[in-house]
Amino acid sequence: MLRIHFTDADLARTRCAGSPNALWEITASLHRFQTRKGRWAYAEWHRATRVRLEEKGLGRVLREILLPVFPRASYFPDFLTPPESMEGLDAGLEAVLATPPRQVLAEVAQLDRLVGAPSWAPRLAERETREELVRAIRAYHGAAVAPYEEQMQARLEAERAMRCRALLDGGVEGMLTGLGPTMRRRRSVLHVDFPSSDRDLHLNGRGLTLVPSYFCWHTPTTLADPRLPPVLVYPLHHEAPAPRPDSPGPPGTWGERLSDSPAGPAGSPASLTGLLGRARAGVLCAAAVGATNAEIARAVGISAPSASRYATALRSAGLITSNRCGATVLHTLTPTGAAVLRAGRRAAEPGRGRPPGQGG
């Protein structure tokens, strides 16, 4: 169990990361290779990434370099996920290279004592060896993480929308309360399930950065050194895989239209209405800012059950994603859905879609 102790100042300085943290995602994705837990949620990624790694000649790098220093265990070195990684992959890798040799040796020794380290690990104190490790991490990122960045960003934005709603409804305490089933807030302490350790983390006015992670599964994680800027990396919710595109869809999917009227709901371009039908176009527009079934129903002028049905159709088509937020479900756009909406709005702009020479 990890107990994170907040003061009033810490609550005011708690924030949620705005983009996926590449080094934490690299770490969590490497952990996915070391267990079958949650494999169903990453089955497509696991198959495709295995193929890409072998095609790029990174199989040995994965087995002999990366997995040994990123173990799925009670400890792995903090210098591999430095605070600078919040600023992006390049900044994080520069920080890895700039880590003082004394810190590297201390953390490698702790890895060896608690988990077991490869025989070559002490050489990471030498810059040349860390440069080799950084090249391996960058190559792995290109094969295993970068192809999923849009999907990861969409899921993170959906999570941020839910955290924002919780913040507006219940303040920072409300935002912390709904982080997931493995985390429970009791007064000024956030209790986090940590199967292999029992410790207290006192924030002491530094605040906490919440880092939603696509590849983190079930159990949150954090830095081992309590002196480092506090972060809590926690898993995004994963639903069961969607049905195949050729499988029967729910009532009211692509084949039917609610209305043949060319005019859609407020904010819904006529081009989208023509493509999706009035109701689906309205649902897509409402989901652009995050909306529940009840909010969609009010915006589009349909019943809540109909809103749920049309949202299901758009989710099956890959245009929206849905995540539970307390007793409700929040719908937000996927990158594909956002692209469709942008294209529809561009097509509705004056002068768009006319043959050359016929501009207004």
- Confidence at residue 134, expressed as pLDDT on a 0 to 100 scale: 97
331 strand-pairing partners? 291, 322
- Confidence at residue 269, expressed as pLDDT on a 0 to 100 scale: 57
Tokens of 118: 């490869």
In the chain, alpha helices (H): 8-12, 22-32, 43-55, 59-61, 67-69, 89-97, 101-114, 127-140, 149-177, 270-276, 278-287, 293-300, 304-316, 335-347
pTM for the full predicted model: 0.74
- Confidence at residue 227, expressed as pLDDT on a 0 to 100 scale: 94
Amino acid at 78: D
Contact predicate 305/249, CB 8 Å:
no
Contact predicate 80/21, CB 8 Å:
no
Cα 89 from chain centre = 15
pLDDT tens for 204-253 read 999 999 999 999 998 899 999 999 999 999 998 765 554 444 433 333 33
- Confidence at residue 272, expressed as pLDDT on a 0 to 100 scale: 64
Count CB-CB contacts under 10 A for residue 41: 21
Tokens of 341: 């909406």
- Confidence at residue 270, expressed as pLDDT on a 0 to 100 scale: 60
- Confidence at residue 261, expressed as pLDDT on a 0 to 100 scale: 33
- Confidence at residue 75, expressed as pLDDT on a 0 to 100 scale: 92
**DSSP label at 87?**
G
Q: How far is CA 19 from CA 24, 128, 152, in A?
A: 12, 30, 9
Residues of the chain with pLDDT under 50: 242-266, 354-360
How far apart are the C-alpha atoms of 255 and 325, rounded to whole Å?
Answer: 30
- Confidence at residue 305, expressed as pLDDT on a 0 to 100 scale: 87
Instruction: Pick left, alpha or beta for residue 180 (phi over 0 → left; psi -120 to 50 → alpha; otherwise beta).
Output: left
For helices 304-316 and 293-300, what crossing angle results, to 10°?
100
How far apart are the C-alpha atoms of 264 and 270, rounded to whole Å?
Answer: 6
